[in-house]
A and B are shown apart, each in its own frame.
Chain A
Amino acid sequence: MDYLINEGYPAAAQKFATEANIQPAVDVDVIRQRVDIRNCIHTGDVEGAIERINDLDPNILDYDPPLHFTLLRLQFIELVRPILALDKPDTALFRPALVFARTHLAPRAPTQKSFLDELQSTMSLLVFPSEKLAPQLKALLDPDLRAQVARSVNEAILYSRGDKKQARIRSLVKLRAWAEIQAREQKKNLPAHLGLGLDEMTDPDVMVA
């Protein structure tokens, strides 16, 4: 339940609540807003995402310049992405992206060292031909970056409302994995594989234990 709310599955959360017969202390509206923002980021509409975040609470970006910078950089990447995909991009097409970089990214670059580095690597996207990109530059164009940004935005919103940043189940799973590693390092007597108990058909002895 906690997971569903935190990760933004309002419908599933409501169904779960009805099935388990618990009173959902869920504010569907709030979840939906977060889902909207996440969807915006996933579809590449970063500007829309930023506007929605500001609608929710302008403090989030005011207080967190790194997050704001990351979002703006993503917006820049989204601007150049379609152009890079072209076969023989015309340099004039880059103009709007460059204007964006000058007005939004460049002023922030000197405020933190990491901003400057990130800006430089991002700008080099324009320099190299898209098929010969170094791996770390390729990563910038990877959809994974969107997911990563979406996750940190989600966490920031949750925190601004005083919630935990991550679903409790995540830390439980982490704790379990950590405990398993610790136990193995200390050569405790453990079976070679410890299932989570979700797929008990294949793992009968865990059930017994």
Chain B
Amino acid sequence: MMTNLFSIFDPSTNLMNLPMNWISTILGLLFIPYSFWLIPNRHFIMWNFISKKLHNEFKTLLKNNYFNGSTFIFISLFFFIFFNNFLGLFPYIFTSTSHLTMSLSLSMPLWLSFMLYGWIKNTNHMFIHMIPQGTPYILMPFMVIIETISNIIRPGTLAVRLTANMIAGHLLMTLLSKTGTNMSFYMIIILIFIQIMLMILESAVAIIQSYVITILSTLYYSEVN
């Protein structure tokens, strides 16, 4: 039952008081292709194509910090968030990334591990990175403060960006759809048309958000070393 608009985001599938809708998080696992035969099928080729493209992208970004397998975590992060975002667009599937718990649980450990590694192992390097090249001497103290603040809010921005985008999209869709319950038949056709546009936008947003969060994580990782 919808008490308010935001109750669409409430976990409401209960089994003995355990919230079961978080199981939609691992729904993306079912989309990973199998490789039973020697010759790949279309699904496998598509998956490989995307993975290879991402791998090349991240490898270019990491430059000297790349070791064999450094990109795996970022590629898996991408696919995880992408499936969660994308499948949440379907009706009756819970969008787990629209909850801050989920996004923060992803971004905070990543950022924290990067920061701890960087500050403990490469303290000088981290200090150097605070100030961009070519700043005048007068501005340096302010730069340090600004960079520190921007550094500290990074996990927040990563998580909240994802959550906010997902919430906004779903909210819009729900708002539009709610008007459809009390509409005449011909208005519904216009409504469906508008909703199609919105859906396309939301699908693009889903892909882009997952890509953005992964790219930023890669960047933060490359800055540390």
A, B in one complex = no
